[in-house]
Structure 1
């Protein structure tokens, strides 16, 4: 990094290009000297007149610079985020200057969208992290790199800086093929799979019958889910009625686990979208179990394990989350029979 270089927002950064920058584009030279910024962010700063070379304002990212050139970069404070900060309780598992890990409860949407303008995890994070977000792409906002469905509970990591956002996004895009990333879920499914473990490799895309839902379909995006059976449960008549499984994702498609398990005939208990055809299975449960499932009021799916490499230190970060109390109560009741 050039002398005096920094990556904080709201600063003026001044440095000379080192000898290895013999001749290069301005945006590329800045990206090499300031790894805390994305190249697209630096290009935007150049175009808005925030960069000088030798005292002259440059607005062309492709401008040629040379070793020894003095560069000054003015970094405006992050623009206020459009979603409003809201004081919503969060279960914080870990937090540092680069990221925050949340144990998300069921019932909360991750990001504002159509029909959910506020009351989301992003609104809660904007309040909780006020003053500690350096800005993602120049905007004061948390960096969402993966999501959980509204009614899926469990672990979720969010970036607080541009550099952390790029690192985590890269790890999630790689899905652990070359790194330490792991994501694992626990789910209760109808019926007992015939094997102890298996892999579902089936493309997922928008359902042609209902565009609000996903489906296994030709022409969909590649989707791979690895599952293993953790426990089996008998119904009121003593016959197998449900199983507790662990799922690990090799891809991250919308509703992937829910769609895949329904596709192989073992939809998740409580899943109104992808398991409604199995609602009569509840007659095989005891009255107590039926009441517990009704009170759960959602799919029995929990993101219990999250492992990733810390974007700054490289340390392997591992987090596990216990099943929510209502989910655990249903599991305990199924065990008792």
Structure 2
């Protein structure tokens, strides 16, 4: 049985362990939660209560390596309506909520998952104060992308933001960990994005043959295997960064959908680092930044 030790300086409603030797997630959890049945541990996994390093993980056979951190949100905390799983609120006022979303959490409901989403959890959160309160989606992050995301507290604010998104949003930057050494230190990628019948986005280089998409990037650091890029969006199209990185021959790590050959970090190598915008109610400049996962820097040194 693998040896583990519990670390300190963690909220009282969370257990944290450090992996000491190679194993898989379910057996690891069973060994550190010996008083629970197999089904109980599987339920904790399914509910999204387990985080490996900086992402929610639900796969039973997820491979663990020495040095990784495994956090478990206790049941009592998880069943409370106030418990937000896979996200933290970084700013809130009467008009907006800005969150830091972990990789692995859906932004909005899908056919398979209705409740374990950022939108649903925030809806429950605001309804504690008033059952008539609601949350509205302004923009989205892919399930496996982490970072800064904003929601509106009224339909009026949602439309105000969406209708003037290009003029209100002053900075929207991502950090991408991509495969291979990007030789050109900075550049721009332009194409027209289309969606296939299987919901796969792809580039067309024929003008107006799809939605216009422009991505700017700069190399932060790189080695022979990986490059860490700062990516600025001029347009915000579905899967834009992922498609454009594939277009230049350097797919985002862990992105099998768009050409990645492997996944050495156990998640998608994409993080929404900065969101800066003019507040739709008062015009004040707001800027929010989410720390880049350490593994991104470590892999690209």
TM-score normalised to the size of structure 2? 0.66
Partner of 1:307: 276
Q: Does 1:186 align with 2:175?
A: yes
The offset of 1:171, in angstroms, is 3.4
* CA distance in structure 1 between the partners assigned to 2:171 and 2:285 by the alignment: 11
Counterpart of 2:215 in structure 1 is 225
Residue 250, structure 1, aligned to residue 230, structure 2: no
**Greater gyration radius:** 1
Q: Secondary structure at the match of 2:84?
A: coil
| SS state at 1:168 partner | helix
Check if 1:88 corresponds to 2:54. no
Q: Tell me the TM-score normalised to structure 1 length.
A: 0.60
Counterpart for residue 236 of structure 1: none
The structural deviation recorded for 1:241 is 2.1
Structure 1 position 113, deviation (Å): 2.4
3-state SS of the aligned residue for 2:272?
A: strand
Distance in 1, Cα, partners of 2:246 & 2:102: 23
Distance in structure 1 (CA, Å) of the matches to 2:256 and 2:219: 22
Does residue 197 of structure 1 match 2:186?
yes
Aligned length: 217
| Residues 57-116 of structure 1, C-alpha deviations (whole Å, 9 max, x = no match) | xxxxxxxxxxxxxxxxxxxxxxxxxxxx88533301000111000000011111112222
Specify the alignment match of 2:36 in structure 1. none
Per the alignment, residue 147 of structure 1 pairs with 140
User: What do residues 24-46 of structure 1 show as CA deviations (whole Å, max 9, x unaligned)?
Assistant: xxxxxxxxxxxxxxxxxxxxxxx
In structure 2, stretches of 5+ residues that fail to align are 1-80
**Distance of 2:147 and 2:102 partners within structure 1:** 7
Counterpart of 2:94 in 1: which secondary structure? Answer: coil
| C-alpha contact 1:205 1:215 (8 A) present in aligned 2 | yes
**Which consecutive residues of structure 1, in runs of 5 or more, have no partner in the other structure?**
1-84, 234-239, 280-292
Post-superposition offset of 1:183? 0.6
CA distance in 2 between counterparts of 1:108 and 1:122 reads 10
- 1: CA distance, partners of 2:130 / 2:170: 24
SS at match of 2:226: strand
Q: Distance in 2 between matches of 1:228 and 1:245?
A: 5
Question: 1:155 is paired with a residue of what secondary structure?
Answer: strand
- Structure 2 residue aligned with 1:156: 149
Q: Distance in 2 between matches of 1:312 and 1:132?
A: 22
